[in-house]
């Protein structure tokens, strides 16, 4: 009877081989598919067990914190509510993550420090996230939101020397605390006013006359024009074969570039744009960050690119479909994000050196040690310091005696540019103001835009910029 016993053992070995095979199938071969199975909530549930780090404003105000639930899991709360909804974002098991919560997820959930988590495991303590200290300024943010006063739009202000963002306001906003309620989240997603959208980095607006600053940079830095170069500001000049009009049909004689910027003369900058040409325009736009997703420490899908758009896609300024004369005054098919326009102002403010905008400042562990410092990063030298000084002086005139006088601050020189862009779809205008201050030693660069506004950039957007700069500078 020993032979059948041996055969029986072989059968058992084969059966166990099948068990090993199936265990391998789930643990190795099909593990990824199983982890991605929508019914598999293990990963999310495990995240809930982790105490995420705090997100703090520059003045240490807590913007996001994890609270322990009765069942020992953690849930995120946002003590500042709607104040920084778009910059901070949210992090919930069912709804996922957005904003800084998503961009700095590895740090906030403590996943970044391999060694740290190993030590945690050996010592038996819970995995804990590091804190994120941001450069956000709650007081200035509050002023920005007050100033927008419920009008749809965006305000973004940063330090041109470092790229540290102080204000990132987008209206309408939402209270991130409500996002964890799935029904409320669905409603936010379906809302036609798109409250979840960060208008500073995700919305493409026609820039209007604020884009003349870009044209001025290209014209002067390429050596083809000087601030006192004279160009005809006659109304109805032919640009790209089509007559172009000035605001209110006002006609000017041969005026300097400075005068043309001060009074936002379309026909001057249309001609300058044509003369400078697509290639040079493209060069300076590239240096300023156009044509690629706006540079900031937010998730990729929360960053839109600025530039000429055709059928929803960004095309280079050298494309045959581009009317460079109209692009030069911010018309044509140009769409820009408010942050991109703030970067234009910042590059002029910082002597032509464009710093990468960032919201995060430092990663700090629970014991207060700085784990990582987000270093100021130079994106490009857009123009020579000389050009920057000349363009800056031209922009000062705008606030001193031109279209942007409403942004003037007492005792502080402000440089700026207004914009009032026509919008096709049943809206009056897209109102803009970009600026920096103090002119002598700039510490703030700002972009303000208001959707569907009646009036002008100089009457609606400039006062908002003024109030925010005042808060930031005093």
> Interface with another protein by CB under 8 A: which residues?
1-6, 8-9, 12-13, 15-16, 18-20, 22-28, 30-32, 34-35, 37, 39-40, 42-43, 45-46, 49, 69-71, 73, 121-125
Contact 308, 334 (CB under 8 A): yes
> Rounded to whole angstroms, how far apart are CA atoms 465 and 398?
14
Question: By C-beta, is 20 or 115 nearer to another protein?
Answer: 20
Question: By C-beta, is 25 or 366 nearer to another protein?
Answer: 25
Question: By C-beta, is 8 or 321 nearer to another protein?
Answer: 8
**274 to 219, 303, 315: CA distances (angstroms):** 10, 30, 18
Q: DSSP letters of 93-142?
A: TTTEE-HHHHHTHHHHTT-S-HHHHHHHHHHTPPPBPPEEEE---HHHHH
Report residue 417: phi and psi, to 5°. Answer: -150, 135
Question: By C-beta, is 47 or 471 nearer to another protein?
Answer: 47
- Across the chain, which distance is largest between two alpha carbons, in Å? 117
> Rounded to whole angstroms, how far apart are CA atoms 332 and 334?
6
Question: By C-beta, is 37 or 182 nearer to another protein?
Answer: 37
Question: By C-beta, is 122 or 248 nearer to another protein?
Answer: 122
Question: By C-beta, is 16 or 401 nearer to another protein?
Answer: 16
Question: By C-beta, is 32 or 114 nearer to another protein?
Answer: 32
Question: By C-beta, is 24 or 189 nearer to another protein?
Answer: 24
**225 to 125, 188, 217, 261, 347: CA distances (angstroms):** 65, 49, 10, 13, 19
Residues in contact with 326: Cβ distance below 8 Å, sequence separation at least 6, in sequence order? 239, 240, 244, 270, 273, 332
Q: DSSP letters of 308-353?
A: EEETTEEE-TTSTT--HHHHTTT-TTEEB-HHHHHHHHHHHHTTTE
* Cα-based angle 61, 300, 43 (whole degrees, multiple of 5): 75
**113 to 99, 122, 124, 125: CA distances (angstroms):** 21, 14, 16, 15
Give the three-class secondary structure for 437.
strand
CB 15 → another protein: shortest distance, Å?
5
Helices (H) and strands (E) in the chain, counts: 17, 22
Question: By C-beta, is 23 or 186 nearer to another protein?
Answer: 23
Task: Tell me which H or E stretch contains 448.
Answer: strand 444-453
CB 22 → another protein: shortest distance, Å?
4
CB 37 → another protein: shortest distance, Å?
6
CB 16 → another protein: shortest distance, Å?
5
CB 106 → another protein: shortest distance, Å?
19
CB 195 → another protein: shortest distance, Å?
31
CB 114 → another protein: shortest distance, Å?
15
CB 366 → another protein: shortest distance, Å?
16
CB 31 → another protein: shortest distance, Å?
4
CB 17 → another protein: shortest distance, Å?
9
Report the half-sphere exposure of 230 (CA within 13 A, side-chain side). 4
Residue 19: exposed, middle, or buried by beta-carbon count in 10 A (0-12, 13-18, 19+)? exposed
């Amino acid at each position: 009877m020993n032979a059948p016993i041996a055969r029986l053992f072989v059968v058992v070995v084969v059966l166990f081989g099948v068990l090993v095979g199936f265990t391998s199938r789930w643990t190795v071969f099909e593990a990824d598919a199983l982890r991605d199975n929508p019914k598999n909530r293990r990963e999310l549930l495990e995240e809930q067990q982790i105490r995420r780090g705090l997100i703090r404003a520059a003045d240490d105000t807590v913007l996001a914190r994890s609270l322990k639930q009765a069942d020992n899991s953690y849930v995120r709360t946002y003590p500042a509510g709607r104040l920084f909804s778009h910059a901070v974002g949210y992090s919930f098991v069912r709804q996922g993550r957005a904003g800084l919560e998503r961009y700095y997820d590895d740090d906030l959930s403590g996943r970044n420090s391999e060694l740290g988590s190993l030590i945690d495991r050996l010592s038996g303590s819970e995995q804990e996230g590091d804190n994120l200290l941001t450069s956000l300024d709650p007081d200035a943010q509050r002023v920005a939101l007050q100033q927008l006063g419920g009008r749809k739009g965006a305000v973004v202000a940063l330090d041109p020397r470092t790229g540290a963002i102080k204000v990132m306001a987008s209206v309408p906003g939402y209270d991130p605390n409500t996002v964890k309620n799935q029904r409320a989240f669905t409603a936010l997603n379906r809302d036609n006013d798109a409250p979840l959208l960060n208008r500073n980095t995700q919305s493409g607006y026609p820039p209007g006359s604020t884009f003349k600053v870009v044209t001025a940079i290209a014209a002067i830095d390429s050596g083809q024009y000087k601030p006192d170069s004279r160009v005809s500001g006659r109304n109805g000049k032919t640009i790209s074969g089509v007559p172009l009009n000035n605001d209110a049909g006002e006609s000017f004689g041969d005026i300097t570039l400075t005068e043309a910027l001060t009074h936002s003369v379309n026909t001057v900058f249309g001609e300058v744009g044509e003369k400078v040409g697509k290639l040079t325009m493209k060069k300076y736009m590239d240096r300023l960050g156009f044509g690629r997703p706006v540079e900031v420490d937010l998730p990729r899908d929360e960053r839109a690119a600025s530039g000429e758009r055709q059928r929803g896609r960004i095309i280079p300024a050298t494309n045959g479909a581009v009317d460079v004369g109209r692009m030069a005054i911010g018309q044509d098919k140009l769409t820009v994000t408010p942050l991109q326009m703030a970067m234009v102002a910042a590059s002029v403010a910082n002597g032509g050196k464009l710093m990468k905008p960032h919201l995060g400042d430092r990663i700090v562990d629970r014991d207060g040690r700085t784990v990582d410092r987000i270093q100021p990063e130079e994106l490009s030298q857009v123009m020579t310091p000389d050009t920057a000084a000349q363009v800056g002086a031209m922009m000062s005139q705008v606030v001193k005696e031109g279209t942007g006088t409403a942004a003037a601050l007492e005792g502080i020189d402000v440089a700026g540019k207004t914009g009032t862009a026509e919008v096709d779809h049943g809206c009056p205008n897209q109102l803009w103001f970009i600026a920096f201050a103090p002119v002598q030693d700039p510490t703030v660069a700002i972009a303000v835009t208001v959707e569907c506004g009646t009036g002008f950039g100089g009457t609606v957007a400039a006062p908002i910029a003024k109030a925010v700069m005042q808060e930031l500078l005093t």
